[in-house]
Amino acid sequence: MKTQYYTATSVDGYIADKENSLDWLFQFGDIEENEDLKDDYPQFISQIGAAAMGSTTYEWIIKHENLLEHPEQWPYEVPVWVFSSRELPAVDGANIRFVQGNVAPVHADMVTAADGKNIWLVGGGDLVGQFHDHGLLDEIILSVAPVTLASGAPLLPRRIATPPLKLVDVKNYGGVFASLTYEVQSVN
């Protein structure tokens, strides 16, 4: 079982632009339709037993997928924990748990719910940083898009230098995306 941060990023390290938009990423088309990427995402998802995200990510998904009017389009089949200090609308029929505060006890609940499968930290970067701060982040999987954004939501607003991340896999997808997988080294 691993706790993984799997996300797309710009070359300069942003997961969303300054308007919290992903239009820069959608110019490359739908992942499920991209010949080079279409097998990786379903393989990743098949190994996930629980997921977590912050409120900005959750609100973006609700708006982008129009989930309050079409809750049947909720994209996750696993329980999802949404971290927020605000009250947010629930998606009818979705297995969502709204939480706040320390990520450690929530992670323990996620491990139980995942039942041996991996945990996906969907985003944002600060939430993932909180998991890292508690020693609960095992792997970072990045799909690096060939764009720069100059500002926006940072990939992971934490200093991770000692020990450094360990590069364990690199893939080239059609000369457009680079997939980088890093193992998070524990501090001994």
pLDDT classification of 128: cutoffs 50, 70, 90: very high
From CA 155, how far away is CA 99, in angstroms rounded? Answer: 22
- Structure token pair of residue 49: 């037993």
From CA 98, how far away is CA 55, in angstroms rounded? Answer: 9
CATH number for the domain formed by residue range(s) 3-183: 3.40.430.10
Residues 81 and 97: beta-carbon distance below 8 Å: yes
- Structure token pair of residue 112: 């139980």
| Length reported for the chain | 188
Q: What is the residue extent of each domain of the chain?
A: 3-183
Q: Are strands 96-99 and 14-16 parallel, antiparallel or unpaired?
A: unpaired
pLDDT at 32 over 80: no
pLDDT at 35 over 80: no
> Does the pTM of the predicted model rise above 0.85?
yes
- Please state the rounded mean pLDDT for residues 4-10: 97
Please tell me whether residue 85 adopts helix, strand or coil conformation. coil
The DSSP code sequence of 103-119 is HHHHHHHHHHHHTTSEE
Residue that wins the pLDDT comparison between 37 and 21: 21
pLDDT of residue 186: 83
pLDDT classification of 31: cutoffs 50, 70, 90: low
